[in-house]
Structure 1
Amino acid sequence: MKPYNIILSLFVLVILINNPILAQNNTDAMQPKKNNGSSYFSLSLNYISDAVYLGRKDSITAPYLYPSISYHNKTGLYAMGSFSYLTKPDESRIDLFLGSLGYDFTNKKFSGDISFTKYFFNSDSYNVISEVDADITASLKYDFNLINLMLSSTCFINKNGNSDFFISSEISHDFVTTDKKIQISPSMGVYFGSQNFYEEYYIYNRFGSERTTGSGQGSGQGTGQGTGGTGGTGGTVITTETTTTTVMLQESKKFGLMAIEFSVPIWYINKPFIVSFLPTLVIPQNPATLTVDSEVYKEDLKSTFYWMAGISYRF
């Protein structure tokens, strides 16, 4: 594959590995990486229509606008920082700060990437991965001319100390215009993993670990005598009751098929600008079985379409 194809193929790799936060999580994923031996900075502004991770999402949509700045050294080392602004009416706020450090390489038809990302979620966030503290991702990709094959693994480090491990595979094919300004790369990915992060999301976001319920009203009569005055009568006492909801996701520690995704990444390059668009259809697999106190529920997962768009400037 020619150099410009390798550049954009590596971009496909990064965007689909970090798929959904981690697309909005890894904001540098909305732009291809150079392999011409020069260092560069990049400024980007991206938008995602909903925060979806492997077909899992909150019942309330979470559209994000996320600017980012990154530096890519000619050695392959890179650093990126960004924040995600929740644009939903009545929920407008900065929902996430994150920073990433990584290394990528391209050697003819072979390319790879390894990165560490730290997340700082708003305490009010209802993002489905809001209980994730950090992740480590590694990926390898090979160009077979007709198709590109990618394999990746990700480890989630969750706030409660549990970890999740994911493995994914993806195939794609590149269509490039003769002037090399437009590339379209239809892709299909299959994702496997555990669901501790999802159990924590249900505990602390969907249901809440503790709820304050109920109130009581009462009145009392009393008299008292002191220097310079006399005590009054009457009063109101408010009591509260705190109940703890127990939530358990039976599949949290099981490793299994989580999602199948179809996407069509599109780029338009007019140096120094890159415009990108990524429509995605995700078909979640293996819905969770939830036990909430003594009640058992089977999750109703449905296919989801979402999209990402962005523009970047390099210098």
Structure 2
Amino acid sequence: MTSTIKLILLSFVILSSNILYCQNKSDAVKHTKGTDLSYVSIGINYINDAVYLGRKDSITAPYLYPSITYYNKSGFYATGSLSYLTKSDENRVDLFLGTIGYDFTSKKFSGDISFTKYFFNSDSYNVISEVEADLTATLRYDFDIIETSISLTSFFNKNSGSDMFLSSEISHDFITINKDFQISPSIGVYFGSQNFYEQYYIYNRFGSERTTGSGSGQGSGGSGSGQGTGQGTGGSTTTTTTTTTTLVLEESEKFGLMAIEFSLPVWYINKPFIISLSPTFVIPQNPATLTVDSEVYKEDLETTFYWIAGISYRF
């Protein structure tokens, strides 16, 4: 792939390691190698449901999210975006996020380190809505036939300890002769802990007035109102006006396989515009075991198909 095409793709490659969501960090980008230009890119994307490593709420969370990125030829960049929840009975801005990072290249090696700060709406039911920030480092190597990448991410959560994620991905680029169309089939394997997920159950699924077991793919549990108190490590407590209930997610501290993903990102370039579509099929692993008081529930995770589409403009 030429440096020009890689430069263009910088503005709109979605979820290179899916620590990105899913739209959760959907404006993360696969950076150019050896570009000598600085630029600004603006775009608007749509995701049909917020999915993170196969985890999602029982209520769909479709987002429309505009973003703006400034990339400096030195490798430093900054991105800002907001996510508007388009579900008919929920219309609101659900998330603001900002990212700063640095991208570097050395022959066939390239890498990236970034810090992202999240500002979720207090009513958000996104599965990572209890995450305040993340720090991500990525290293890639281009074998010509395939490109491999490995990423290490740390989540900093509001009410519990941090989470650590390790992701690996293999992809191959098919590019037309005139270089205006590209398709990059990818396979990713993701490992991590689930403190963030325990906090999501406490403060959103379990702590809301919805029944934890409603919907598909999320297992079952208790119900209650009010907000949880206490820490996510080893269990937490939710207090209502009449009862105090303890919830524990056994896998919260364990580091294990979380998901296998198959994606087929596609780009069409008509300068200065880029149109993209990224369909993804995710097979979640390591379902949670929830203990609510003395009741034990095994989560019933299901395979999920979701997609992201959008358009961007670079100048």
Relative to the length of structure 1, the TM-score reads: 0.85
Residue aligning to 2:230: none
Residue aligning to 1:57: 56
Mapped to 2, the partners of 1:44 and 1:10 lie a distance apart of 12
Q: Which amino acid aligns with 1:87?
A: T
1:2, CA displacement in angstroms?
3.5
Q: Which amino acid aligns with 2:79?
A: M
Mapped to 2, the partners of 1:309 and 1:24 lie a distance apart of 15
- Identify if the C-alpha distance between structure 1 residues 175 and 4 changes in structure 2 by more than 3 Å, giving closer, same or farther: farther
Q: How many residue pairs get matched? A: 287
Q: Which amino acid aligns with 2:313?
A: Y
Q: Which amino acid aligns with 1:207?
A: F
Mapped to 2, the partners of 1:12 and 1:137 lie a distance apart of 18
Cα offsets for 1:217-238 (capped at 9, x unmatched): xxxxxxxxxxxxxxxxxxxxxx
Residue aligning to 1:41: 40
Cα offsets for 1:144-179 (capped at 9, x unmatched): 111111111100000014100000111111100000
Residue aligning to 1:241: 241
SS in 2 for 1:50: coil
Residue aligning to 1:223: none
- Determine if the alignment matches structure 1 residue 175 to structure 2 residue 151: no
Q: Which amino acid aligns with 2:2?
A: K
Alignment of structure 1 residues 254-273 onto 2, 5 Å = 254-273=254-273
Cα offsets for 1:19-78 (capped at 9, x unmatched): 44453424253x865743111111110001100000000000000000011111110100
Mapped to 2, the partners of 1:10 and 1:149 lie a distance apart of 17
Mapped to 2, the partners of 1:24 and 1:146 lie a distance apart of 30
1:245, CA displacement in angstroms?
2.5
CA contact (8 A) 2:149 2:168 kept: yes
Residue aligning to 2:79: 80
CA contact (8 A) 2:173 2:184 kept: yes
Mapped to 2, the partners of 1:72 and 1:11 lie a distance apart of 9
Alignment of structure 1 residues 178-257 onto 2, 5 Å = 178-208=177-207, 211=225, 241-257=241-257
SS in 1 for 2:15: helix
SS in 1 for 2:201: helix
Residue aligning to 1:275: 275
Q: Which amino acid aligns with 2:306?
A: Y
CA contact (8 A) 1:277 1:307 kept: yes
Relative to the length of structure 2, the TM-score reads: 0.85
- RMSD between superposed Cα atoms in Å: 2.1
Mapped to 2, the partners of 1:105 and 1:32 lie a distance apart of 8
Which has the larger share of strand?
1
CA contact (8 A) 2:11 2:314 kept: no
- Identify if the C-alpha distance between structure 1 residues 20 and 306 changes in structure 2 by more than 3 Å, giving closer, same or farther: farther
Mapped to 1, the partners of 2:277 and 2:258 lie a distance apart of 24
Structure with bigger gyration radius = 1
SS in 1 for 2:200: helix
- Identify if the C-alpha distance between structure 1 residues 11 and 273 changes in structure 2 by more than 3 Å, giving closer, same or farther: closer
Long gaps (5+) in structure 2: 209-223, 227-239
1:114, CA displacement in angstroms?
0.7
- Identify if the C-alpha distance between structure 1 residues 259 and 43 changes in structure 2 by more than 3 Å, giving closer, same or farther: same
- Identify if the C-alpha distance between structure 1 residues 11 and 32 changes in structure 2 by more than 3 Å, giving closer, same or farther: farther
Alignment of structure 1 residues 46-195 onto 2, 5 Å = 46-195=45-194
SS in 2 for 1:145: coil
Cα offsets for 1:113-168 (capped at 9, x unmatched): 11000000000000000000000011011111111111111000000141000001
CA contact (8 A) 1:211 1:245 kept: no
Q: Which amino acid aligns with 2:278?
A: L
Mapped to 2, the partners of 1:8 and 1:150 lie a distance apart of 19
SS in 2 for 1:27: coil
